[in-house]
Every structure is written in structure tokens, then in C-alpha cells.
Amino acid sequence: MRIIFLGPPGVGKGTQADFIAQSYGIPKLSTGDLLRESVAKETVLGKEAKGYMNRGELVPDTVVIGLVEEKLRSPDCQKGFLLDGFPRTVTQADRLSNYLTSRGEDLDRAVYFSLEKDEIVRRISGRRSCPECKAVYHIESIPPKQEGVCDVCGKSLVQRNDDKPETIESRLAVYQEQTAPLIEYYKAKNILGELDGAGLVSAVQDRLVALLASPRVE
Ligand code: AP5
């Protein structure tokens, strides 16, 4: 199964991605996680990406495409994958399509997560992440057992730099301008499925499993 997750920041893509990757036995590639890892390690790529990410802008296509293609060439991605947060521009989508065609493959599903703006802002503002094991919490909806401490590895939780109020609006604007056109792009390829991202994590998960199990509309 080759799947992409598409949708505004904070809609819950990452929260659902681990479960789906595990259920289908496919690797999850999150470009946000890969880029944050590069920033934390202060690699050349990380140094280039940092400013864009902190401003809520997209990292240049050339940088992200190279990163994803390198990962897709690895043996564990040969039987399928879940891309979380890629593609995010038409250029990225075209490159992915060409790359998969060169391998004689195609995407099976593009899942578009939708959610009202107020709830998106509430989710992003309350997100806390573990810098060590990458577990993600929400201070109200999905709190850790002990405030500020990761349930999984015990590290102190942090707020992402781009989750500050001043950056959220610019991320949403960038999404509308550069990523939202991909909804029509994948609709035209008959692989788009729209997922209502509202409600409990378990309810969204149930809808997502049903969507992925349903036949494509040809
Ligand atoms: P990235 O990390 O991909 O951020 P994003 O797409 O903006 O998505 P988020 O991680 O903000 O949200 P999410 O949808 O995964 O929500 P989550 O599950 O965490 O990208 C960051 C940056 O990297 C970009 O701005 C850009 O600079 C760069 N970048 C990345 N990919 C790129 C690309 N392809 N091209 C160029 N640049 C790129 O949930 C959010 C919160 O809600 C959490 O607190 C969670 O606990 C909570 N939550 C989740 N589900 C529920 C629920 N059902 N009910 C209540 N709370 C919930």
C-alpha cells in the first residue's frame, strides 16, 4: 500500500500515521520529523531548513524532494509506505509521481484530513512533543500522565518552535496557497479520500481504517 496524508497543520495526520503504518506493516516517512531531526543534529540540510521552518514557510522543493527520494530508495520502502506531510506543493507531487512511474508504481490513496480552523488552532496551540522519542501529546485532549513529562521515555516535553501563536497563522496561509491545490490534483487522479478529522482520536482512526478499506472511486 502506498499512501499519502494531506491536510492543514495540526489536523492530526501524525497522530494517525503511526497506527496506520503499523497496521499495514509499512514504513512511515514524515518530512516534518525528518527535517526536525536534521535541524537538531545541525546537519547542512538542517541549517538550511531551520529558518524556513521557524517562519512557518515551506522548505524549498529541491531540499525536500532529495530527502524523500533517498528514503524511498531504501529496501523497506519497496513494498509500500506512508508519506506524512509530503507532497506539499504541485512540484513535489509531480516529482513523486514521476519517481514512482519510473519504478512501475503508483500511489494507492491520498487521504485529505479536514477540520475546522478553530479546532486546528486549539490542537496546535496545545501540542507538546517529546524531543527524544517523538511522542506527541495535547495538554487538554491527550495529556501525559505527569504534566510536562513523556509517558514513553520520561524526557521533558517541549513546544515546537513553529507552534507559537505568531507562526500558526502563517503556516495556515502557506497551506492554503501551496498545499490545498493538491486536493484537486489527487481528486483528478481518483485516489483522493476525504477524512473528517473531528472527534476523538479513536473515532478518526475508525473512519480512516474504513476509508482505506473502501474501494477507490474510478
Ligand atoms: P510538519 O511537521 O509536517 O507539520 P504539519 O503538516 O504542519 O503538521 P503538524 O505536525 O503540525 O500536524 P499534524 O497534522 O501531524 O497533527 P498532530 O497529529 O501532531 O511540518 C513542519 C514544517 O516542516 C513545515 O512547516 C515546513 O517548514 C517543513 N516541511 C515539512 N514537510 C515539508 C514539505 N513536504 N515541503 C516543504 N517543507 C516541509 O496533532 C496536532 C495536535 O492535536 C497534537 O497535540 C495531538 O495530540 C492533537 N490531536 C491529534 N488528533 C486529535 C484528536 N482527534 N482530538 C484531539 N486532539 C488531537
Q: How far, in Å, from the CA of 18 to the mean position of ligand 1?
A: 13
Average pLDDT taken over every residue of the chain: 95
Instruction: Report the catalytic residues.
Output: 13, 88, 127, 160, 171
Average pLDDT (16-25) is 95
Q: Rounded to an integer, what distance in angstroms lies between the CA atom of residue 193 and that of residue 215?
A: 10
- Residue 165: pLDDT above 90? no
Q: Whose CA is nearest to atom 52 of ligand 1?
A: 201
Residue with cell 495526520: 13
Contacts of 173 (CB under 8 A, 6+ apart): none
Q: Is pLDDT above 70 for 17?
A: yes
Q: What is the rounded CA–CA span in Å between residue 19 and residue 208? A: 10
In this structure, which residue's CA is closest to atom 50 in ligand 1?
Answer: 12
**Rounded to the nearest 10 degrees, what angle do helices 31-40 and 44-54 cross at?**
110
- Predicted pLDDT of residue 166: 86
Q: pLDDT for 185-200, tens place per residue?
A: 999 999 999 999 999 9
- pLDDT at position 217 is 59
Residues touching ligand 1 (Cβ under 6 Å) are 9-15, 31-32, 35, 52-53, 56-59, 64, 85-86, 88, 92, 123-124, 126-127, 136-138, 141-142, 162, 171, 200-201, 204
pLDDT value at residue 88? 98
Please state the pTM of the whole predicted model.
0.95
The closest alpha carbon to 123, from 1, 44, 2, 15, belongs to 15
pLDDT at 181 over 70: yes
Q: Is the pLDDT score of 215 beyond 80?
A: no
| 212 C-alpha to ligand 1 centroid (Å) | 20
pLDDT attached to residue 146 = 97
What mean pLDDT is predicted for residues 30-40? 93
Q: How far is the CA of 60 from the CAs of 23, 48, 162, 187, in angstroms?
A: 32, 9, 17, 25
DSSP assignment letter at 158: B
Mutate to test the pocket of ligand 1, among 123, 140, 160, 179 (most ligand atoms within 8 A of CB): 123
Provide Rg for the chain, Cα atoms: 17
In this predicted structure, the answer to whether residue 77 has a pLDDT above a threshold of 60 is yes
Work out the average pLDDT over 117-133. Answer: 95
Q: Which residues pair with 111 in a beta bridge?
A: 5, 193
Q: Which atom of ligand 1 is nearest to the CA of 10?
A: 12
Q: Which of 1-15, 157-171, 204-218 ranks highest by mean pLDDT?
A: 1-15
CA distances from 186 to 69, 109, 119, 216 (A): 20, 9, 25, 12
